[in-house]
């Protein structure tokens, strides 16, 4: 892609989801955690502000999606069992973030992550969390720390966390 390629990060729309599924499958099927189209549709309906895509030129090159959860000890209104996104929650969980393989290492993942961190802040969240098998260094560069290491379905995962109070979001 040429140096002058126009790059924008915007909220995802229903029609973007097939491209998101393609990127997700490429990124996560080897570790058994790729998601179905219906899962992304549900996430978009539940929390549209927390679902973003990056368009480079005319192509969708990356996406990031998220949900709000209640922190331990936090009592929110509308805490429905089985419902993962909780609008009153103050824990911002990145459910997935990926960049098309052939377009990685161009700063696109960082642009998506920065947008999600900004959204978390605007949504009044205190902490951003993510679990990752492969991208610890990427998150460490944005200030995340590993809080727990564990193994799930034979894949070793880091639970990582960023305290929003510890970073300055105003340039």
Ligand X SMILES: CC(C)(COP(=O)(O)OP(=O)(O)OC[C@H]1O[C@@H](n2cnc3c(N)ncnc32)[C@H](O)[C@@H]1OP(=O)(O)O)[C@@H](O)C(=O)NCCC(=O)NCCS
Contacts with ligand X, residue ranges (CB under 6 A): 27, 96-99, 104-110, 130, 132, 134-135, 137-138, 141
Contacts of 161 (CB under 8 A, 6+ apart): 127, 128, 129, 144, 145, 147
Taking the least distance from each CB to ligand X, the nearer of 27 and 128 is: 27
Output the smallest distance, CB 165 to ligand X, in A: 23
φ, ψ dihedrals at 110, nearest 5°: -65, -40
Taking the least distance from each CB to ligand X, the nearer of 36 and 78 is: 36
Taking the least distance from each CB to ligand X, the nearer of 106 and 121 is: 106
Output the smallest distance, CB 80 to ligand X, in A: 25
Taking the least distance from each CB to ligand X, the nearer of 72 and 137 is: 137
Q: What span, in angstroms and rounded, lies between the C-alpha atoms of 98 and 23? A: 7
Output the smallest distance, CB 128 to ligand X, in A: 12
Query: What DSSP element (H or E) covers 117?
Result: helix 108-122
DSSP state of 33: -
130 — alpha (psi -120 to 50), left (phi > 0) or beta? beta
Output the smallest distance, CB 78 to ligand X, in A: 26
Contact status, residue 110 vs residue 118, Cβ threshold 8 Å: no
């Amino acid at each position: 892609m040429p140096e002058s390629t126009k790059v924008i990060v915007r909220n995802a729309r229903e029609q973007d989801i097939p491209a998101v599924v393609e990127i997700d499958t490429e990124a996560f099927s080897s570790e058994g955690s790729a998601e179905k189209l219906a899962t992304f549709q549900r996430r978009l309906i539940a929390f549209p502000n927390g679902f973003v895509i990056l368009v480079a030129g005319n192509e969708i090159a990356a996406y990031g999606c998220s949900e709000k959860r209640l922190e331990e000890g936090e009592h929110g209104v509308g805490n429905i069992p089985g419902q993962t996104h909780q609008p009153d929650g103050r824990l911002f969980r990145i459910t997935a973030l990926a960049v098309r393989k052939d377009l990685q290492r161009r700063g696109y993942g960082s642009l998506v992550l920065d947008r999600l961190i900004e959204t978390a802040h605007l949504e009044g969240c205190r902490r951003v969390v993510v679990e990752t098998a492969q991208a610890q260094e990427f998150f460490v560069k944005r200030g995340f720390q590993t809080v727990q290491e564990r193994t799930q379905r034979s894949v070793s995962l880091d639970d990582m966390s960023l305290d929003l109070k510890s970073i300055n979001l105003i340039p």
